[in-house]
């Protein structure tokens, strides 16, 4: 090892000690090729275009009842120059199919597409912020500023109220925030881009700012309306104060037996009730009509996010008037 390389390693080790309170190995492994992301672990240092990042672990994701699934290509790491926490999204290619009713949609991960989104939304507080950096092998790593906060589903579950109290007390302000978040997606569409993975856990309420922020833009589809259809899942979550299944609805209100049909279901998730006015009669008919456009029985559909935003704004204005009277 040359004196320059030794001095560099000593500096990295000293910075790592400075920004962490845990014990560190005597020698830190420095990685500049992230191709084998499975081999990159806690206390390894990833060097990207001259900036070293100390890995603190893998990010995790809980979905479909399975908690804490590790995402081995997504690392939580400290920038050893600034001490700030970041998310490193390493190159991971995946292809799968999502179901919208009888239609199958091909979904493909694209680091390059996420990089284009990051460039477009830089400085826009409605989106996660970050940049791209190439490793020594040329892999396109996304360096994302860490967001401390809670996702949409956990936020609505944290609100201390029964559904009717929630709907009349908290929902109007939350609807306004969701409209602004969907307007942000409209900005992507107008630039020829998409989010690609609109979900309740990809909309984060930042603790410090109180701002909802979209995260995770690396999925692409060959179906232009995928974001628009996915917006229905966000609306179901906020109107229902979480996800309302047929089973849960009938257990809470047995009189709904025979009243709910397959046409009332979400086109994405057939076990969820999209016709929420049947479950919560105080949901305004205008708002419920919007929900029904995302149902299995829909006869009229949205094909642009601007249409969803316009209808929700009209509905929110009416909701505000009804709250005032």
Does residue 107 lie within any of the structural domains?
Answer: no
Cβ neighbourhood burial of 61 (10 Å; 0-12, 13-18, 19+): middle
Local confidence band at 70 (pLDDT 50, 70, 90 cut-offs): confident
In tens, the pLDDT along 268-281 reads 999 999 999 999 99
* Integer Cα distance of 224 and 230 in angstroms: 11
In tens, the pLDDT along 46-67 reads 999 999 999 999 998 755 444 5
The pLDDT, as a whole number, for residue 67 is 52
* Integer Cα distance of 121 and 255 in angstroms: 48
Local confidence band at 318 (pLDDT 50, 70, 90 cut-offs): confident
In tens, the pLDDT along 182-235 reads 999 999 999 999 999 999 999 999 999 999 999 999 999 988 899 999 999 999
User: Is there a single domain that holds both residue 67 and residue 158?
Assistant: no
* Number of domains comprising the chain: 2
User: Is there a single domain that holds both residue 208 and residue 73?
Assistant: no
> Which domain CATH number covers 274?
1.10.510.10
Give every strand in the sheet of 219-221, ordered side by side: 95-100, 103-109, 219-221
User: Is there a single domain that holds both residue 184 and residue 320?
Assistant: yes
- The two tokens of residue 7 are 């001095």
Do residues 89 and 71 lie in contact, with contact meaning Cβ atoms separated by under 8 Å? no
Task: Please say if the pLDDT value at position 321 is more than 70.
Answer: no
Does residue 137 lie within any of the structural domains?
Answer: no
Does residue 81 lie within any of the structural domains?
Answer: yes
User: Is there a single domain that holds both residue 178 and residue 263?
Assistant: yes
Task: Indicate the residue among 60, 90, 120 that finishes a domain.
Answer: 90
Given the structure tokens 């490193």, which residue do they identify?
88
Parallel, antiparallel or unpaired: strands 66-79 and 51-63: antiparallel
Task: Please say if the pLDDT value at position 170 is more than 50.
Answer: yes
User: Is there a single domain that holds both residue 318 and residue 243?
Assistant: yes
User: Is there a single domain that holds both residue 61 and residue 154?
Assistant: no
253: left (phi over 0), alpha (psi -120 to 50) or beta: beta
User: Is there a single domain that holds both residue 165 and residue 310?
Assistant: yes
User: Is there a single domain that holds both residue 59 and residue 181?
Assistant: no
Percent of the chain at pLDDT above 70? 96
User: Is there a single domain that holds both residue 72 and residue 155?
Assistant: no
What is the domain extent for residue 52? 3-90
Does residue 243 lie within any of the structural domains?
Answer: yes
Percent of the chain at pLDDT above 90? 87
Do residues 246 and 157 lie in contact, with contact meaning Cβ atoms separated by under 8 Å? no
Please give the backbone phi and psi of residue 18, each rounded to the nearest 5 degrees, phi first: -65, -40
In tens, the pLDDT along 290-313 reads 999 999 999 999 999 999 999 999
Does residue 116 lie within any of the structural domains?
Answer: no
User: Is there a single domain that holds both residue 201 and residue 304?
Assistant: yes
User: Is there a single domain that holds both residue 171 and residue 277?
Assistant: yes
Do residues 226 and 281 lie in contact, with contact meaning Cβ atoms separated by under 8 Å? no
Task: Please say if the pLDDT value at position 323 is more than 50.
Answer: no
The Cβ-side half-sphere exposure at 67, using a 13 Å CA radius, reads 0
User: Is there a single domain that holds both residue 86 and residue 208?
Assistant: no
Q: How high does pLDDT run on average in the chain?
A: 93
- The two tokens of residue 251 are 């257990």
Angle between helices 171-190 and 226-240 (to 10 degrees): 170
Does residue 135 lie within any of the structural domains?
Answer: no
Does residue 195 lie within any of the structural domains?
Answer: yes
**CA-angle at 223, arms to 305 and 66, nearest 5°:** 90
């Amino acid at each position: 090892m040359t004196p320059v390389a030794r001095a560099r390693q000593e500096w990295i080790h000293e910075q790592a000690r400075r920004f962490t309170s845990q014990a560190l190995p005597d020698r830190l492994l420095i990685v500049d090729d992230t191709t084998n992301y499975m081999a990159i672990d806690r206390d390894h240092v990833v060097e990207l275009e001259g900036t070293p990042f100390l890995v603190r672990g893998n990010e995790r994701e809980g979905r479909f009842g399975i908690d804490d699934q590790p995402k081995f290509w997504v690392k939580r790491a400290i920038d050893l120059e600034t001490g700030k926490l970041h998310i490193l999204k390493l190159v991971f290619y995946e292809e799968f199919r999502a179901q919208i009713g009888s239609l199958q949609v091909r979904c493909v991960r694209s680091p390059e597409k996420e990089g284009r989104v990051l460039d477009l939304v830089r400085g826009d507080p409605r989106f996660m912020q970050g940049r791209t950096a190439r490793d020594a092998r040329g892999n396109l790593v996304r360096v994302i500023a860490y967001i401390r906060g809670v996702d949409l589903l956990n936020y609505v579950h944290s609100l201390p109220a029964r559904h009717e109290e929630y709907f009349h007390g908290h929902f109007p302000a939350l609807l306004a925030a969701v409209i602004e978040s969907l307007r942000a997606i409209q900005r992507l569409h107008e630039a020829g881009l998409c989010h690609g993975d609109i979900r309740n856990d990809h909309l984060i309420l930042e603790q410090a700012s109180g701002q909802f922020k979209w995260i995770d833009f690396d999925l692409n589809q060959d179906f232009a309306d995928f974001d628009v259809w996915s917006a229905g899942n966000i609306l179901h979550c906020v109107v229902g104060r979480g996800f309302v299944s047929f089973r849960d609805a009938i257990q809470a209100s047995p009189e709904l037996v025979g009243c709910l049909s397959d046409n009332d279901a979400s086109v994405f998730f057939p076990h969820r009730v999209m016709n929420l006015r049947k479950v919560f009669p105080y949901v305004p008919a205008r708002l419920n009509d919007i929900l029904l456009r995302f149902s299995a029985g829909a006869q009229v559909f949205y094909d642009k996010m601007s249409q969803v935003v316009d209808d929700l704004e009209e509905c929110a204005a009416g909701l505000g008037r009804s709250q005032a009277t």
